[in-house]
Chains A and B, each alone.
Chain A
Amino acid sequence: MLNVLMLGIGQCGNRILDAVNRESFGGSSKLSKYYSRQKFPSRVETLAINTAVNDLKELKFTAAKDRLHVPNLHGVGANRSLGKQGFWDNREMIMEEIEKRGDFDIAFVMTSSSGGTGSSFTPLIIHELKERYKNITVIAVMVLPFREEGSIYLQNAAFSMRDIMEVQSDGIILVDNQYLKRLSGDIKTAYDRINEMVAERLLFLIESLDSEMLSVTDLGDFKTVMRGGLGMGTLGFYESDKKTASLTSAIEGSLKPGGLLYPADVYEDAARAMIIIQGSRESLDVDEITKSVEKLSSKIGQVFKGIVIKKGRPKILSVFTLGQVPDLEMLYAQAAQAIQDEKSRKTRAKKQLDDAFAYIEDLEEVY
């Protein structure tokens, strides 16, 4: 059985974690926590970490003991420097809280790349986890901001991504809010839906890695996939409407942009992939699976496939890393531009202020 640590850092990470916990109650009812029990496929420990206590209070499905407030900070105000300082000040407390939850094989650190706490804490926590747990696989689940959300968010995203790459995480699963704008409904519903999608896929992934698969894919395979390409990937998911739906179309559905969390052309951009197919025995046609996988592997090289027999409609999860991320480059370009703009605005403001103060230079208050 896998020992899984799921950390939700910052407001966004907390909410994804809450969605994971909600998903584990097995129902979408708001009251499910009162009558149901959490059922994780493996031993899963969840912990929500935040500097803003209000964000922690908002959570509904995360037990109180699994919410860690980093004290003396009421949010870092999207300031990564402040966030890093806050982490260093509380590092032992935070790590102690994690360590008392036992040993772990894999950790998912879920966060927004653009926020304050999440973007500043995550690289440091990944570093700490890597330091303290020798054999742990740490996967960062990074949510990219809406591009128009603001220059600070963009630069935070840019720097935090770099930081994470530097601390040698075992991979980054990208979730793009921008891309998910296509979800209809109000902003809260859209966010909730994104969080649900992430939670559903992660839990499916954990379940699959921990299952006795017909065709072997395990944590090692997963690590191999995540280390391919740029070390950044995303998750695709498709759940068939009917029990008897064609597997080929289901597999292709999980690879289509509609099923992905980050916009990518899998056949063109993917470096390594893992396809996990879950379905009832009669629905799993070997030919269909083989053909679909072969089609993919002929394009991108290595494709791991895992088959899990479970009653119900066929579900496909595709995990892949990307060899090229044109969008990311664009994001960094936008970030650099934003930083430049910010800098010039600051300089302009400073100058204006200096000019203003020049009027009262050499003067004193007269009463």
Chain B
Amino acid sequence: MRPVYLVLSVVVVLLVSSIPLALMGAAASDEADNIDGEIVTRDFSFRAGEGVRIGDYRVELLSVVSVIDGLVEVRVYKRASQFEDWRVMQDYRDVNFDGGKDRGGLTLTVVEIFDIDTVRMRAAYRSDYGYPQKYVTERALAPRNLPELKVFTTVDKTTVSTGDELKVTITVTNAGNDTARDVVIQDSPPLPQFRYLAGYPPKVKNQLQPGESDIVVYSMVAAAEGSVELAGTAARYSDSKATLYSATSQPVNIEIRPQRRPDLAFEVEAPGPIELGGEGAINVTIKNDGEAAAQRVEVKMGLRSGMDGLEFSGGGLDRSFFEIAPGDVERYSATVRGSRSGSYVVDLSASYRADGEMMQEDTSFQVSVLEREYKYLYYLPIVPVLIIGIWLYRRYKEYKY
């Protein structure tokens, strides 16, 4: 039986050796001549649920027990023999199977654990066993029960003004099918642009069952204007095998604008030149172009000195408004009568409150009162011209023969 298998295996090895083993990332070290009894060492990678044929030996990776601890569970058996062995291998330690390499068996070493599924292994064996050949084990790979956390960081508003409060919501959801253990979240470090009010630093439950979510909220106040990137929240957790995982949420950009203030603006429609004794209407429009309400708005009119040539009816232009909301417009009018000719400058001043702070907006406009028009004055220059004309004509007639 043995020589037959040997021949078969040689044929297979020959066939396979002509095909480069893609999975064998690194070139086999200690490449030696294919001579019976000589020991060769070859590296290969495989995943849990996969096996590697080395001669009659079958090496199957059952699972990575612990990435951190470097423990890998393997099953090694020899075809058509009684040899079967389950081992948990510590990485970087040579483990002899079936007597080890020097006795026709295998000596395996875990050289690298890539992740919870993939392992790189080094096998030392007699060279006539040929190259390791990968295969899928008959046993379907049982889905691993792993925790998988998803972290979302959201803020209730991404554009705020200084002084505004905003809430940061961190949602941690276990989307995996194993309990996430030792869950710790690490939010972005405290930023100078914010004052943190409550809930910071955020904390979540230590363990999260599959499908379970935990939501933490903390609030802060924007303190300085500018554009701020809120770094993503990192969640660290481990599974039942104490394998450490981490998940990070997307960073969030927050635009902090200057503090919201009211901004009152005057628009005054002054009458054109009004005739002496005539009347004109003054329309005043106050608009709050700001983002905050102006409160206790007092509009006062002031006349510069020597302005007694204007008479306002209906209380002049003084007005009070309890509040002018952002975007709101207040309009009012007054009638002015010109009692003396001249050009007058009227000052309007609105004082108002915003967040306890007194603010003021001033404007001024001009009202001209025309002088009384004496139309016949225009004819006066004609008189001397007429006199001269008559004089010249008389002289002309006097000397015309």
Give chain A's interface residues, CB within 8 Å of chain B: 33-34, 56-57, 59-65, 67
Chain A residues with CB below 8 A from B398, complex form: 63-65
Q: Is the C-beta of B392 less than 8 angstroms from some C-beta in chain A? A: yes
Smallest Cβ-Cβ distance to A63: which chain B residue = B398
**Contact: A34 with B395, CB < 8 Å?**
yes
Q: How far is the CB of B395 from chain A (nearest CB, A)?
A: 5
Chain A residues with CB below 8 A from B395, complex form: 33-34
The interface bits of chain B over 226-267 (1 if a CB of A lies within 8 angstroms of the residue's CB, else 0) are 000000000000000000000000000000000000000000
**Contact: B399 with A57, CB < 8 Å?**
no
Interface size on B, residues (CB 8 A): 9
A57→B395 CA distance, assembly (Å) = 15
Chain A residues with CB below 8 A from B397, complex form: 64
Smallest Cβ-Cβ distance to A57: which chain B residue = B401
Q: Is the C-beta of B400 less than 8 angstroms from some C-beta in chain A? A: yes
Q: How far is the CB of A36 from chain B (nearest CB, A)?
A: 10
Chain A residues with CB below 8 A from B396, complex form: 34
Smallest Cβ-Cβ distance to A65: which chain B residue = B398
**Contact: B400 with A64, CB < 8 Å?**
yes
**Contact: A61 with B399, CB < 8 Å?**
yes
- Residues 354 to 401 of chain B near chain A (Cβ within 8 Å): 391-392, 395-401
A250→B400 CA distance, assembly (Å) = 41
- Residues 131 to 178 of chain B near chain A (Cβ within 8 Å): none
Chain B residues with CB below 8 A from A62, complex form: 399, 401
Smallest Cβ-Cβ distance to A56: which chain B residue = B401
Q: How far is the CB of B393 from chain A (nearest CB, A)?
A: 10
- Residues 32 to 46 of chain B near chain A (Cβ within 8 Å): none
Q: How far is the CB of A362 from chain B (nearest CB, A)?
A: 55
Partner of B401, one of A33, A34, A64: A64
19 contacts between A and B (CB under 8 A): A33-B395, A33-B399, A34-B391, A34-B392, A34-B395, A34-B396, A56-B401, A59-B401, A62-B399, A62-B401, A63-B398, A63-B399, A64-B397, A64-B398, A64-B399, A64-B400, A64-B401, A65-B398, A67-B401
Q: How far is the CB of B128 from chain A (nearest CB, A)?
A: 147
Q: How far is the CB of B397 from chain A (nearest CB, A)?
A: 8
Chain A residues with CB below 8 A from B401, complex form: 56-57, 59, 62, 64, 67
Smallest Cβ-Cβ distance to B398: which chain A residue = A63
Sample of 9 more A-B contacts, CB < 8 Å, known A62-B401, A63-B398, A64-B398: A34-B391, A34-B392, A34-B395, A59-B401, A60-B399, A61-B399, A64-B400, A65-B398, A67-B401
A33→B395 CA distance, assembly (Å) = 7
Smallest Cβ-Cβ distance to B392: which chain A residue = A34
